[in-house]
Amino acid sequence: MSENKSHKTTVNRLLNKFKTEPQEEGADIQANNLVVEVETEKTIGDGIRQLQGYRKPVYIAGVNKEAVEQALTATEGTSIGVMDNQGNVIKKSTREK
């Protein structure tokens, strides 16, 4: 499965889960109570930059196990949370509204 296809599949799954619509710009998923950036293992750094400035809980959702593990390492010591491609929280975001 290509990175684009797994990214798109994960975004659509999470849009459904959080009952929200796709965004024109900014993070992949912006719901009332959280912001999620979906990333592959190669784009975790981009996701971290994208989440700067949001004033609510923020998450990186990895498209696969490798991306989740990489996100956990990259977000250590930050307020950014990590979830898997099903939207299950692995590391809770500590960023407040």
In a domain, 14, yes or no: yes
Instruction: Answer whether 0.85 is exceeded by the pTM.
Output: yes
In a domain, 97, yes or no: no
What phi and psi, each to the nearest 5 degrees, are found at residue 5?
-65, -45
In a domain, 96, yes or no: no
In a domain, 20, yes or no: yes
The range of the structural domain enclosing residue 17 comes to 3-91
Say how many domains are in the chain: 1
Q: Could you read off the pLDDT tens digit of each residue along the chain, which spans 97 residues?
A: 566 899 999 999 999 999 999 888 889 999 999 999 999 999 999 999 999 999 999 999 999 999 999 999 999 999 999 999 999 999 999 998 7
**Are the CB atoms for 38 and 10 separated by under 8 Å?**
yes
Beta-bridge partner residues of 83: 61, 89
- Pairing assessment for the beta strands 81-83 and 35-39 based on DSSP bridges: unpaired
Distances, alpha carbon 87 to alpha carbons 28, 59, in Å: 13, 10
Q: What is the largest CA-CA distance in the chain?
A: 36
In a domain, 48, yes or no: yes
